[in-house]
Amino acid sequence: MLVREPSVADRFYPADAERCRREAERFLSGAVGNGDLPLQALGGIVPHAGWAFSGAVAGRVFAYLRDHARPQTLVITGTVHVPEVVYPSTMTIGYWRTPVGGLEIDCEFASRLVETGAAEDNPNAHRREHSLEVPLPIAEQAFPGVYLVPLMVPATVSGVETGRAVAEVARSLGREVLLVASTDLTHYGPNYRFTPKGVGAESLRWVKQENDARMLDAIRRMDAESLVGMARECKNACGPAATACVLAAARELGVTQAHVIEYTTSHDVVPRGEPTNFVGYVGAVF
């Protein structure tokens, strides 16, 4: 059997099974008020930074989804940090191992998606990519036994057509799906070669209230078509096509609005002197 082994365990999240399980459950214990959130949820958006920075945000999203969704299959999309992946890529057979167990690939769903031409079967593309791997142990704790369709969506495409294909496959198979995108927002600071507002408090304010706010507004409106262009111009998301993919799929399945339930930055989570290098994180459900 083809097995995708953990690549960044012990760097981004615990490799030890018991510690990983405890950490995931701790993140899943974060309370989320219902408010005007959907009683029946179809998916969400989570970050993929190290758990010390973004695990609580991902946990709140998966905790809400656990209480408001009953999926058979998790379709999780992520951005591409590894070279030479220029087309949406999935795995049509195999198993995705995690420290707490693993998830079996939904072979039928993934194969149908490849047949549409919206993605290619490229398991090697997933071997070293962390954008899907980091949130999956938390997702697995929230949804034990769920099947998996991993889908890397590079910003060389808009993600919208792939999302429409995901929705069509879900409809044709009668599959109850959970649609989750993995993205971080603005990567700010000298380490990321992006300092339009210098460093310090003003740069943090600008990222939170202006640059990331533009992306959050588009997410709320489910404006999938604008995300890749906006991210290219504003550098306010590393996974715009992955996010556009799930928003487009959710729209095709009847969702009209997304709800941001958490927004923070790595500086807010782990302050280290004045704001210099930091990343934005969003948690959303729809």
Query: What residues contact 26, with CB distance under 8 A and at least 6 apart?
Result: 59
CATH 3.90.580.10 fits 38-285, yes or no: no
102 closest CA partner among 137, 65, 58, 142? 137
Residue extents of the structural domains in the chain: 38-285
238 closest CA partner among 78, 60, 11, 129? 78
Q: How far is it, in rounded angstroms, from Cα 117 to Cα 52?
A: 38
Q: How far is it, in rounded angstroms, from Cα 239 to Cα 179?
A: 15
- 234 close to 170: Cβ distance less than 8 angstroms: no
Please list the pLDDT of the chain residue by residue as tens digits (286 residues): 899 999 999 999 999 999 999 999 999 998 676 667 888 999 999 999 999 999 999 999 999 999 999 999 999 999 999 888 999 999 999 999 999 999 999 999 999 999 999 999 999 999 999 999 999 999 999 999 999 999 999 999 999 999 999 999 999 999 999 999 999 999 999 999 999 999 999 999 999 999 999 999 999 999 999 999 999 999 999 999 999 999 999 999 999 999 999 999 999 999 999 999 999 999 999 9
Q: What is the pTM of this model?
A: 0.97
